[in-house]
Amino acid sequence: MPTANIGGTEISYQDQGNGDVIVLLHASASSGEQWRTLRSHIGNDYRIITPDFYGCGRSAPWHGRESMTLAAEAAIIDGLAATIGRPFHLVGHSYGGAVALRMASQSTQRIKSLTLIEPVSFHLLRMGSPTDRKAFDEVADLVDTLCRSVIAGDEWNGMGRFVDYWNGHGTWASLPWEKRRQLAPRIRTTLYHFWSTIREAMPIDSYRQIRMPVSVIWGGRTRTPTRRIAELLADALPEVRSTVFDDAAHMLPLTHAERLADSIVPFVDGKARWTSQAA
């Protein structure tokens, strides 16, 4: 797996295929490997680049000289610009969606299209209406629980709470022991991700200036905070289509990979309909 030195930190990524470039940004507690099934459905007609964020996959941890931010994570893609070599389509899921949105606000000439799959841009809820702030409180309660678990040295149950929040109660207990052993230490990096999205300062009006085709996708069975964020962005972005996977929850890149590929490919090819739709 190739690596790139980004600000003194080694970042790993995968680079496969030929054709138009699609960069896929993964969720918290995951890595570029998250996209393996989706890559297989997209096929070999595209060059697909899947970086690992700081402290994820095979990438080195965040250096810690200052707080991690969405802009710092977006700088990974800036750092890969020479490797990419041309404008690209950017796809992000969950935390990767928040990073992709942040990058799109500052790198419009590099990005040909933007696909946001349930981006966890929690700062939009913090700055929003009373209903939005109530949804934000739900996230804040989760973060508080995770922090207390880490302080108590209980990474296992902290990660279990995170996994069950997004996937349903009992998901953590159903995972093989080895998988849980691998996931538990990732809770600290996951908390960095939460703090990055919560502390982001850009208001919704800043994203209204994004001038590229945008696809916002969410699951009909997702959590209220992510559904609300998707709705806010679908209303605010000027060149947007929205798609709801009625039977999906937050992890639809894993649970609905084939249907997601069927949504992404026409969009990056410029053949998608510019209307809200169910999938």
Average pLDDT, whole number, for the chain? 93
pLDDT band at 22, cuts 50/70/90? very high
Residues 136 and 111 in one domain: no
Residues 134 and 235 in one domain: no
Render pLDDT for 167-189 as a digit per residue (tens, 0 to 9): 999 999 999 999 999 999 999 99
Separation CA 222–CA 224 (nearest Å):
7
Residues 233 and 118 in one domain: yes
Overall number of domains in the chain: 2
> Residue 82 has what pLDDT?
81
> Residue 65 has what pLDDT?
80
Separation CA 1–CA 143 (nearest Å):
33
Residues 247 and 111 in one domain: yes
> Residue 77 has what pLDDT?
92
Question: DSSP E strands: which ranges in the chain?
Answer: 3-6, 9-16, 20-25, 46-51, 88-93, 111-117, 214-219, 240-245, 277-278
> Residue 277 has what pLDDT?
54
> Residue 49 has what pLDDT?
96
> Residue 64 has what pLDDT?
78
* Residue range(s) defining the domain that contains residue 141: 130-197
> Residue 107 has what pLDDT?
74
Residues 102 and 16 in one domain: yes
pLDDT band at 106, cuts 50/70/90? confident
Residues 71 and 161 in one domain: no
Residues 7 and 46 in one domain: yes
